[in-house]
């Protein structure tokens, strides 16, 4: 059965209940032996992804980039970087993925460009007040000689969010805003040229057959008038606060409405926003009918393995989208977040809890985003040697925060020793731990009780069983430390987050993340019943 195409005009769009698989391309599979993953590598593994059963891929940025932030610093948004195989590799991937009925969504970065983007190269040497500078956010500094940044905003990666340029005549000049690294200057979204260029980028990829986009920093782009100082300057990096003047300014919604008009010309396509906004009402505003189709709700990813907190996170995620009629989304991890196995305590317990939480999220109505490697139960790698760390956070924090490399270590595919078939090179760009020999795709596919086998079974059931129908959930009474809910189609999902086994409610057992003992659900486990 093809469940990705609507059977008739009334059917739901494909993305309303899809399982997306996020590929961090540098770390997925390397086809050309340079130690860095690429699009050819993804193409070679499409058979695996088909076996896993995912509906769509979200591929992190592969456009031309000097890679100051792993590709989130884009120098040409309408070309593929040679590191990833160039445009031919993208065309080939789209074609073959579509033959296998897997959709391809790309990651686009509207908030900023690379400092190597021709626009920024021109802006640096152009005069203050010029059209070139007006595509970015250049300001004079504060203080008598302009030597203080224009406001007190910090960069998300540490240090000030402003860098001073030297004017062509050699004198110290204006400052430009970069909410992320200095190599990622923020665009000025009040400039119509910026809007028009992004619309051109959307059309460019949609015309090449792309099925939609993940929109990076979708709560960014719009800036508050006058760029006022921040009230509370946090020195902690990568933290999110709804009152942060750098994000979630009201003007952002007009920008999303513009994007949506373009997307509506391509009715098959989906937009998914990265929206770090906690407040349910303000979050819901991003997925009104004329804005984004979907937005990542990060509540589950931010929640400990605790049934009460998980239930609260689910309730909030549903409540945020219900008033605007949008689809809920679920994710446990991504390339910016510590892997869930580690968050839930690591070791065997961490893996068991991560499997249980995967069954909880796949039991929920809406679309689910799985991060590559989670299906293998990979932990974070927190002991990478310092000299291999590449996340700008490491340098920008003066070597006090290691950053996100630990969740970006390449996947182990086969064999007994690193690089585990990831690359033909002697080493992968980040080294894999030797103990991942047990966790390779090859080893796990042969094992019925492996993490990957559980993922395969769960994804298949979710996509084919009628019990997963219905948009709502109904909570069941359950022992303290547990949760249980029911879908209108009849599926019951139970999570046991306690340290003792629990009896299951009546019904036929469809799947469990751990073997039942005396008919009871063990600790750190989830079960589906019908
Ligand atoms: C998003 C991305 C992150 C990147 C940042 C700047 O948060 O997920 O990886 O560093 O945007 O583009």
Cα(217) to centroid(ligand 1), Å: 7
Using an 8 Å Cβ cutoff, are 132 and 165 in contact?
Answer: no
Domain 118-177 adopts which CATH fold?
Answer: Oligo-1,6-glucosidase; domain 2 (3.90.400)
**Interval 352-401: pLDDT, tens:** 999 999 999 999 999 999 999 999 999 999 999 999 999 999 999 999 99
CATH class of the domain whose range is 470-529: mainly beta
Catalytic residue among 69, 107, 132, 216: 216
Which pLDDT belongs to residue 10? 55
Which pLDDT belongs to residue 114? 99
Give yes or no for residue 157 CB within 6 A of ligand 1.
no
Cα(463) to centroid(ligand 1), Å: 30
Q: Which residue ranges make up each domain of the chain?
A: 15-109+210-219+235-260+269-445, 118-177, 470-529
Give yes or no for residue 216 CB within 6 A of ligand 1.
yes
Give yes or no for residue 468 CB within 6 A of ligand 1.
no
Give yes or no for residue 211 CB within 6 A of ligand 1.
no
Which pLDDT belongs to residue 419? 98
Q: For 427, what's the count of Cα atoms within 13 Å in the CB-facing half-sphere?
A: 5
Which pLDDT belongs to residue 6? 44
Q: Which residues contact 315 (CB under 8 A, 6 or more apart)?
A: none
Q: Which atom of ligand 1 is nearest to the CA of 111?
A: 12
Using an 8 Å Cβ cutoff, are 413 and 41 in contact?
Answer: no
Using an 8 Å Cβ cutoff, are 55 and 211 in contact?
Answer: no
**Can you count the helices (H) and strands (E) in the chain?**
14, 20
Q: Which residues contact 438 (CB under 8 A, 6 or more apart)?
A: none
Cα(216) to centroid(ligand 1), Å: 6
Give yes or no for residue 72 CB within 6 A of ligand 1.
yes
Using an 8 Å Cβ cutoff, are 440 and 413 in contact?
Answer: yes
Q: Which atom of ligand 1 is nearest to the CA of 109?
A: 12
Q: How far is the C-alpha of 516 from the C-alpha of 375, rounded, in Å? A: 21
Instruction: Dig out the tokens for 37 from the structure.
Output: 């993953």
Degrees to nearest 5, angle at CA 396 with 395 and 397: 90
216 is catalytic: yes
Catalytic residue among 34, 50, 140, 265: 265
Quick one: which H or E segment has residue 442? helix 441-445
**Interval 64-101: pLDDT, tens:** 999 999 999 999 999 999 999 999 999 999 999 999 99
Q: Which atom of ligand 1 is nearest to the CA of 69?
A: 10
Backbone torsions φ then ψ of 182, nearest 5 degrees: -60, -25
Buried b (16+ CB within 10 A) or exposed e, 99-117: eeebbbbbbbbbbbbbbbb
Closest CA to 292 of 105, 63, 155, 463: 105
User: Which residue's C-alpha comes closest to atom 4 of ligand 1?
Assistant: 72
Backbone torsions φ then ψ of 22, nearest 5 degrees: -85, 120
Give yes or no for residue 183 CB within 6 A of ligand 1.
no
Q: In the chain, what is the straight-line distance between the N-terminal and C-terminal CA atoms, in Å?
A: 22
197 is catalytic: no
Give yes or no for residue 237 CB within 6 A of ligand 1.
no
Pocket test for ligand 1, best of 74, 112, 216, 337 (most atoms within 8 A of CB): 216
Q: Which residues contact 237 (CB under 8 A, 6 or more apart)?
A: 156, 157, 158, 393, 396, 397, 401
Give yes or no for residue 455 CB within 6 A of ligand 1.
no
Q: Dump the DSSP string for 335-376.
A: TTS--HHHHTTSHHHHHHHHHHHHHHHHHSSSEEEEETTGGG
**Interval 403-417: pLDDT, tens:** 999 999 999 999 999
Cα(361) to centroid(ligand 1), Å: 24
Cα(381) to centroid(ligand 1), Å: 20
* Cα-only R_g, the chain: 23
Which residue ranges in the chain fall short of pLDDT 70?
1-10, 235, 237-238
Q: How far is the C-alpha of 385 from the C-alpha of 407, rounded, in Å? A: 14
- pTM: predicted TM-score of the whole model, two decimal places: 0.97
Using an 8 Å Cβ cutoff, are 409 and 384 in contact?
Answer: yes
User: Per DSSP, which regions of 42-90 are E strands?
Assistant: 56-59, 63-64, 76-80
Does 470-529 match 15-109+210-219+235-260+269-445 at the fold level? no
Give yes or no for residue 109 CB within 6 A of ligand 1.
yes
Give yes or no for residue 107 CB within 6 A of ligand 1.
no
Instruction: Tell me the CATH architecture of domain 15-109+210-219+235-260+269-445.
Output: Alpha-Beta Barrel (3.20)
Which pLDDT belongs to residue 3? 40
Map tokens 């993940």 to a residue: 214
Give yes or no for residue 217 CB within 6 A of ligand 1.
yes
Pocket test for ligand 1, best of 186, 217, 397 (most atoms within 8 A of CB): 217
Per-residue three-class SS string for 8-41: CCCCCCHHHCCEEEEECHHHHCCCCCCCCCCHHH
Q: Which residues contact 317 (CB under 8 A, 6 or more apart)?
A: 297, 299, 300, 328, 329, 330
Quick one: which H or E segment has residue 471? none
Instruction: Dig out the tokens for 364 from the structure.
Output: 């929920």
């Amino acid at each position: 059965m093809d469940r990705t195409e609507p059977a008739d005009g009334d059917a739901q769009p494909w993305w309303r209940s899809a399982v997306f698989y996020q590929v961090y391309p540098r770390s997925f599979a390397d086809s050309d032996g340079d130690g860095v993953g690429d699009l050819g590598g993804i193409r070679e593994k499409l058979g695996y992804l088909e076996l896993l059963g995912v509906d769509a891929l979200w591929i992190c940025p592969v456009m031309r980039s000097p890679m100051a932030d792993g590709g989130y610093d884009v120098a040409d948004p309408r070309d593929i970087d040679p590191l990833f195989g160039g445009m031919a590799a993208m065309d080939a991937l789209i074609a073959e993925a579509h033959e296998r009925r897997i959709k391809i969504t790309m990651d686009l970065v509207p908030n900023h460009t690379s400092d190597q983007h021709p626009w920024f190269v021109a802006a640096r040497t152009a005069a203050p007040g010029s059209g070139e500078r007006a595509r970015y956010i250049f300001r004079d500094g504060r203080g008598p000689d302009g030597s203080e940044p224009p406001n007190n905003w910090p960069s998300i990666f540490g240090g000030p969010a402003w860098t001073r340029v030297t004017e062509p005549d050699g004198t110290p000049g204006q400052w430009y805003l970069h909410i992320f690294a200095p190599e990622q200057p923020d665009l000025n979204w009040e400039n119509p040229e910026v809007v028009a260029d992004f619309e051109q980028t959307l059309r460019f990829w949609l015309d090449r057959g792309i099925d939609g986009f993940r929109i990076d920093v979708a709560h960014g782009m719009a800036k508050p008038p006058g760029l006022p100082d921040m009230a509370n300057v946090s020195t902690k990096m990568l933290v999110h606060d709804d009152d942060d003047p750098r994000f979630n300014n009201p003007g952002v919604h007009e920008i999303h409405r513009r994007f949506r008009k373009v997307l509506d010309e391509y009715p098959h396509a989906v937009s998914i926003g990265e929206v770090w906004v906690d407040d349910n009402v303000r979050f819901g505003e991003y997925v009104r009918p004329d804005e984004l189709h979907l937005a990542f709700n990060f509540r589950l990813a931010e929640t400990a393995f605790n049934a009460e907190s998980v239930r609260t996170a689910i309730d909030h995620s549903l409540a945020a989208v219900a008033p605007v009629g949008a689809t809920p989304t679920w994710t446990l991890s991504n390339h910016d977040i510590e892997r869930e196995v580690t968050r839930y305590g690591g070791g065997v317990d961490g893996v068991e809890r991560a499997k249980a939480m995967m069954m909880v999220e796949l039991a929920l109505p809406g679309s689910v985003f799985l991060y590559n490697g989670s299906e293998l139960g990979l932990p974070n790698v927190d002991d990478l040697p310092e000299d291999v760390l590449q996340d700008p956070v490491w340098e920008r924090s003066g070597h006090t925060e290691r950053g996100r490399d630990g969740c970006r270590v390449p996947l182990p595919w086969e064999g007994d020793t690193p690089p585990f078939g990831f690359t033909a090179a002697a080493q992968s760009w980040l080294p894999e731990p030797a103990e991942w020999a047990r966790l390779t795709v090859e080893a796990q596919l042969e094992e019925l009780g492996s993490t990957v086998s559980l993922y395969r079974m769960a994804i298949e059931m979710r996509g084919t069983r009628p019990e997963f129908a219905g948009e709502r959930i109904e909570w069941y009474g359950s022992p303290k430390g547990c949760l249980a809910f029911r879908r209108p189609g009849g599926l019951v999902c139970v999570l046991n987050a306690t340290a003792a086994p629990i009896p299951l409610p009546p019904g036929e057992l469809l799947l469990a993340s751990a073997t039942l003992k005396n008919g009871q659900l063990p600790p750190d486990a989830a079960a589906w019943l019908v």
